[in-house]
Amino acid sequence: PLTQNVTVVEGGTANLTCRVDQNDNTSLQWSNPAQQTLYFDDKKALRDNRIELVRASWHELSISVSDVSLSDEGQYTCSLFTMPVKTSKAFLTVLGVPEKPQISGFTSPVMEGERMQLTCKTSGSKPAADIRWFKNDKEIKDVKYLKEEDANRRTFTVSSTLDFRADRSDDGAVVSCRVDHESLNSTPQIARQVLEIHYTPSVKIISSSSWPEEGQSIVLTCESKGKPLPEPVLWTKDGGELPDPERMIVNGRDLRISFLNKTDNGTYRCEATNPIGQNSTEYVLIVHDVSNTLLPIIVIPSLTTATVTTTVALTTSTATSATAINTRDPNALAGQTGPDHALIGGIVAVVVFVTLCSIILLGRYLARHKGTYLTNEAKGAEDAPDADTAIINAEGSQVNAEEKKEYFI
Ligand SMILES: *[C@@H]1O[C@H](CO)[C@@H](O)[C@H](O)[C@H]1NC(C)=O
Ligand SMILES: *[C@@H]1O[C@H](CO)[C@@H](O)[C@H](O)[C@H]1NC(C)=O
Ligand SMILES: *[C@@H]1O[C@H](CO)[C@@H](O)[C@H](O)[C@H]1NC(C)=O
Ligand SMILES: *[C@@H]1O[C@H](CO)[C@@H](O)[C@H](O)[C@H]1NC(C)=O
Ligand SMILES: *[C@@H]1O[C@H](CO)[C@@H](O)[C@H](O)[C@H]1NC(C)=O
Ligand SMILES: *[C@@H]1O[C@H](CO)[C@@H](O)[C@H](O)[C@H]1NC(C)=O
């Protein structure tokens, strides 16, 4: 007879099959590890509802054992009653399914810096199950593993201990204990625990402006972390209360100072407190002069650029205008507002200056023409006794005078 070893998960069904190639109507029999006969051909011998006949023929005797328990494990024998009797043995292996793992040793909350020992335990596995730890899906390798035999002396209780010092970065982390076992059909049993770690606040001030100027407003944001969350935060200036509550408005973590003024210079402190402790940080505010920007005049040049080319006086006037800007505010060009702004400001100033110069020159040119015209008309009329004679005596004819008048208009 031919048989095969069988492995079955506790509670499952095991099929025991015995085959023979040649048989002259000789009987086949299955017996259990205690040498009790289970089936003799198609006749049931042992009163056990879990054992049933699957197939009985001259070349096969198959039986099934349902709801297998750990005690069913052992060597089963198939016998062919020839002379002498021929046998074949099949080993039935029963796997113990690990229980759902439990994590113990967790206390909540834990203070930062404290030692934490988490133990994950699972009983009932056969063979002993494998336990692994993960923190946010990343495996932790350095753990202690312990294996104990259960009271039934067949299965095992396995446990694993994770030992670490609580850190603020672990707050909210998910620690999981994963049990892998051949009886679990590659779907591991997992126990999870979310860590809660309390720690002192940390604070940071973020400024809305890197170059606060007079008249502007600024928002200082106090970013504080901590567990429990430190709220509200406390804002002070130079060790005292905020001096001007009308312009200095605290809204949650934000301190907003509007219409900055040089008296606002000083050290601003943000303090965050939670039940674990306190922390603070400072920001030194320096209110700067309003930078001398010429940008608002930008509109004019594009309309009048065409007139710029007319006069020779331009070169010198460009030079003077540049000097004028330099003397007016040495910082404007070396600029904290940035070299680009200063450059643009300078160019715009030059263009505007040149434009204004050309307009003035044009005006003066026209005005001078008007003067010449009047003088010409008066020539020859100086000695006339009355207006009529003056017109008649005048050098220019009536037609000429009219042309000039039109031109003037
Ligand atoms: C055992 O045999 C029965 C009947 O042939 C079949 O339905 C079942 O799937 C078998 N079980 C195993 C574990 O092979
Ligand atoms: C086996 O038994 C059957 C009847 O039960 C018979 O017909 C057959 O000839 C027998 N075979 C042998 C090889 O004895
Ligand atoms: C069946 O199991 C037994 C005991 O575990 C072992 O000695 C034997 O080699 C196995 N036979 C086969 C065919 O795997
Ligand atoms: C205060 O916060 C800073 C970081 O913002 C941190 O380095 C420091 O340790 C904290 N102080 C205390 C007493 O927690
Ligand atoms: C600046 O603020 C102070 C008090 O906050 C006020 O007395 C002073 O007039 C302000 N100066 C200007 C230029 O606004
Ligand atoms: C504020 O700081 C600016 C820049 O350092 C300085 O020019 C100004 O005099 C300071 N004003 C006061 C009142 O301290």
CA distance 311 to 300: 19
Ligand 3 atom 5: the closest Cα is on which residue? 91
For ligand 1, what atom is nearest to the CA of residue 8? 13
pLDDT at 117 over 50: yes
Domain 2-95 bears CATH identifier 2.60.40.10: yes
Residues forming a β-bridge with 207 = 220
Per DSSP, the residues of 288-332 read BPPP---GGGTTTHHHHGGGGGG-TTHHHHHHHHHHHHHHH-HHH
Domain 200-285 bears CATH identifier 2.60.40.10: yes
CA distance 28 to 38: 11
Task: Give the gyration radius of the chain's Cα atoms.
Answer: 51
Instruction: Could you please state the CATH topology (level 3) that the domain comprising 102-195 is classified under.
Output: Immunoglobulin-like (2.60.40)
> For residue 382, what pLDDT is reported?
56
For ligand 4, what atom is nearest to the CA of residue 199? 14
Pairing of strands 115-125, 156-165: antiparallel
For residue 250, report the distance from its CA to the centre of ligand 4, in Å: 23
Q: What is the mean pLDDT of residues 288-299?
A: 62
Ligand positioned closest to the Cα atom of 41:
2
CATH 2.60.40.10 domain position(s) in the chain:
2-95, 102-195, 200-285
Which residue would you say has higher pLDDT here, 364 or 380? Answer: 364
The mean-pLDDT minimum among 20-29, 173-182, 313-322 falls in: 313-322
For ligand 6, what atom is nearest to the CA of residue 263? 13
Ligand 4 atom 11: the closest Cα is on which residue? 279
pLDDT per residue as tens digits for the range 131-169:
999 999 999 998 999 999 999 899 999 999 999 999 999
For residue 279, report the distance from its CA to the centre of ligand 4, in Å: 6
Q: What is the mean pLDDT of residues 352-379?
A: 65
CA distance 20 to 87: 11
pLDDT per residue as tens digits for the range 70-79:
999 999 999 9
Pairing of strands 110-111, 86-95: unpaired
Residue 392 binned pLDDT confidence (cut-offs 50, 70, 90): low
Residue 385 backbone phi and psi in degrees, to 5: -75, -35
Ligand 3, residues 3, 4, 5: which to mutate, most atoms within 8 A of Cβ?
Answer: 5
For residue 240, report the distance from its CA to the centre of ligand 3, in Å: 85
Residue 379 binned pLDDT confidence (cut-offs 50, 70, 90): low
For residue 64, report the distance from its CA to the centre of ligand 1, in Å: 8
Question: Running DSSP on this structure, what letter comes out for residue 276?
Answer: T
Q: What is the mean pLDDT of residues 84-89?
A: 95
Residue 48: CA count within 13 A, CB half-sphere: 19
Q: What is the mean pLDDT of residues 306-314?
A: 39
